[in-house]
Amino acid sequence: MLDILGNLVTGVPMTLFLTFGALLVGVILGIPICMARRSHHPVLSNLAAAVIVAIRSIPPLVWLFLIYFGLGSGILRLSPLVAALGGLGLITAVNMAEIYRGSLAAIHAGQWEASQALGLPRWSRLVEIIGPQVARISLPAVATYAIGLLKDTAVASIIGVPELAFKGTYLSQQTFKGLEIFAAVGFLYIAMSLPIAWVSRLVDARIRQRVAQ
Amino acid sequence: MNETSATDIRPLVLVEGLRKSFGSHEVLKGIDLSVQRGEIVAIIGPSGSGKSTLLRCVNQLETHTAGTVTVAGVTIGPDSASHDRELQKLRRNVGMVFQSFNLFPHLNVLRNVSIAQQRVLGRSQAEADERSMQLLTRVGLADKAKQYPARCSGGQQQRIAIARALALDPQIMLFDEPTSALDPELGLEVLAVMRELAEGGMTMIVVTHEMHFAEDVSNRVLIMADGEIIEQGPSREVMQKPQTERARQFLSAVRDR
């Protein structure tokens, strides 16, 4: 049993890599999507809204099939890992865009007005004044999403990315010890989730203590 | 920027035929106003009379529907046909203090006062911080430099906001009900700073409910109602012997409180 567990654990780095990779893609790509969604240009904002709804309404599993088997059949040769990162990253990006949009709405109009009245250039208003406040307000929601994403990475096993769920499936087929193996898999997911929740709470509390209003 | 010499007799602020509508509702119905260098103008009047909107048109936080706003030689026409660059030029000369302070909560007090000096005036961080410390000392808050705004009282936050606006060496300061969000006691410390600024010769337009400030500190009082200036003149005259019935009503209503 111990060597099985040892074998399972080798899937953990891939799961973490997928989680944080997709999160990174999403956190960055979410910014332009959010900006497009909030654009005064009706074509741009409607297009962004449509993209957000479309991507959010289709299950991650279907997205991975679309990208890996759909795009992958002739148009683009994608490795399972790239397809999974792309699919999960895209889904994360539109969700981040919506989280940012909510956070932006929570920022007092006076923050924009003060930075305009001071004559701060546009980049500074966005990067130094509004951005950090959006990040702070978004943090708890992003952490919650990250934990959800950690579990969603299991769908990547379907297209053969050797992460935790993939290893579990493979080993259970080899050994016929499904219960023990998947219990261990579940335990490992818990073990990965807890630190994310813990770190996010710690950071949030620290910022809150500093800037609490 | 050389239009700042003391002998310049042109008004620092000139508002001509200013109109502003929100949808079909006209909140400013043709305002003319000129403010000379060193003048302190108080704008009073009932809520909804358009005083704050007028003030916000001066630095173009609100665009206007018709007329022009000129500050220190920079003229802005209706509906922000003007470029960003013109707006920046105009705002460069105008400091603004808000009712709700609007300090940046994620920056400490010193950064709040320094950041625009660096980004707008191109001062180095050391230069900016030095100037910030001078101003914080002047408003009595040098010891708060490393604190975050949330750790400061409302009165302190408003004094920091004044320092932040002054840090850009504006030619005119706009105050939008600067004490309305404060307990009377905390309001007094803000008024004291404003009084000191006035004595130092700063040009100021102050939208206020503080009748004492209007009467004692300002040179001129404007009373607004329903989007129009219904009365204006030297402070004491207007406050003590208003000519119009509407102004008399307003003043007796605020005094009876």
Q: State the first-to-last Cα distance of chain B, in angstroms, to the nearest integer.
A: 45
Q: pLDDT at position A50, please?
A: 95
Task: Report the amino acid identity of residue B75.
Answer: T
Mean pLDDT of A78-91: 93
Residue B173 phi/psi, 5-degree rounding, is -115, 130
- Chain B CB contacts of A113 below 8 Å: 61, 98, 102
Domain limits for position B142 = 102-169
Number of separate domains in chain B = 1
Of all residues in chain B, the one with the smallest CA distance to A110 is B102
Residue A169 predicted with pLDDT over 50: yes
Q: What is the pLDDT of residue B3?
A: 46
CB A97 within 8 A of CB A33: yes
pLDDT of amino acid B1: 43
Strands across the sheet with B74-76, in order? B25-35, B13-22, B66-71, B74-76
The nearest CA of chain B is from the CA of A135 a distance in Å of 11
Question: Would the pLDDT of B11 be above 60?
Answer: yes
Report d(CA A43, CA B93) in Å as an integer: 37
Distances in whole angstroms, Cα of residue B188 to Cα of each of B32, B185, B191: 31, 5, 5
CB B27 within 8 A of CB B19: no
Backbone angles phi, psi at A15, to 5 degrees: -60, -45
CB-based burial of residue A88 (10 Å sphere; 0-12 exposed, 13-18 middle, 19+ buried)? Answer: buried
Distance from CA of A42 to the nearest CA of B (A): 20
Residue closest to B217 by CA, chosen among B243, B237, B191: B191
| Interface residues from chain B to A (CB-CB < 8 Å) | 59, 61, 84, 88, 91-92, 94-96, 98, 100-106, 115-116, 119-120, 148-150, 161, 164-165, 168
Whether B125 is in a domain gets the answer: yes
Burial of A39 (C-beta count, 10 Å sphere; 0-12/13-18/19+): middle
Mutate to test the interface with A, among B102, B125, B158 (most CBs of A within 10 A): B102
Tell me the average pLDDT across A68-72: 82
C-beta atoms of A114 and B106 within 8 A: no
Secondary structure of chain B as H, E, C letters? CHHHCCCCCCCCEEEEEEEEEECCEEEEEEEEEEECCCCEEEEECCCCCCHHHHHHHHCCCCCCCEEEEEECCEEECHHHCCCHHHHHHHHCCEEEECCCCCCCCCCCHHHHHHHHHHHHHCCCHHHHHHHHHHHHHHCCCHHHCCCCHHHCCHHHHHHHHHHHHHCCCCCEEEEECCCCCCCHHHHHHHHHHHHHHHHCCCEEEEECCCHHHHHHCCCEEEEEECCEEEEEEEHHHHHHCCCCHHHHHHHHHHHCC
Question: Per DSSP, what are the bridge partners of residue B22?
Answer: B25
Select from B1, B4, B150, B177 the least CA-distant residue to B89: B1
Contact predicate B252/B233, CB 8 Å: no
What is the predicted pLDDT for the residue at A205? Answer: 87
Cα Rg of chain A (Å, integer): 20
Residue B155 has pLDDT above 90, yes or no: yes
Does the pLDDT of residue A213 top 50, yes or no?
no
Asked if the Cβ–Cβ distance from A110 to B102 is below 8 Å, we say yes
| Residue-wise pLDDT tens digits, A16-65 | 999 999 999 999 999 999 999 999 899 999 999 999 999 999 999 999 99
The CA distance from A26 to A48, in Å, is 15
CATH number of the domain that A31 lies in?
A: 1.10.3720.10
How far apart are the C-alpha atoms of A92 and A85, rounded to whole Å?
10
Residues of A in contact with B105 (CB under 8 A): 133, 211, 213
Hey, are the CB atoms on B164 and A129 less than 8 Å from each other?
no
Residue-level pLDDT at A75: 74
- Least Cα separation, residue A176 to chain B (angstroms): 55
A16, two tokens: 């973490």
Say if residue B111's pLDDT is above 50.
yes
**pLDDT bucket at B105, cuts 50 / 70 / 90:** very high
| Contact assignment for A211 to B164 by CB distance below 8 Å | no
Contact partners, residue B60, CB within 8 Å, separation at least 6: B69, B76, B80, B82, B87, B90, B91
Find the domain containing A161 and state its range: 2-211
Task: Please compute Rg for chain B using Cα positions.
Answer: 18
Q: How far is B89 from chain A (nearest CA, A)?
A: 8
Amino acid B80: pLDDT: 63
Mind listing the pLDDT tens digit for each residue in B62-77? 999 999 999 999 999 8
> Of A103, A118, A134, A206, which to mutate for an interface test with B (greatest number of B Cβ within 10 Å)?
A118
Of the candidates B96, B103, B148, the beta carbon closest to that of A117 is on B96
Decide if B168 contacts B92 (C-beta within 8 A).
yes
Inter-chain CB proximity B106 and A111 less than 8 Å? no
CA B168 to chain centre: 14
Bridge-partner residues for B35, per DSSP? B13
How close does chain A come to B202, measured CA to CA in Å?
18
Token pair for residue B173? 């300061």
Dump pLDDT digits (tens) for B209-254.
989 889 888 999 999 999 999 999 999 999 999 999 999 999 988 8
Q: Tell whether A148 lies on the interface with B, counting CB pairs under 8 A.
A: no
* A109 in contact with chain B, both atoms CB, cutoff 8 A: no
Per DSSP (E only), the strands in chain A are none
Q: Considering its fold, how many domains does chain A have in total?
A: 1
Q: Euclidean distance between the first and final Cα of chain A, in Å?
A: 53
pLDDT of residue A4: 80
C-alpha B225/C-alpha B245 separation (Å) is 12
State residue B84's pLDDT score. Answer: 76
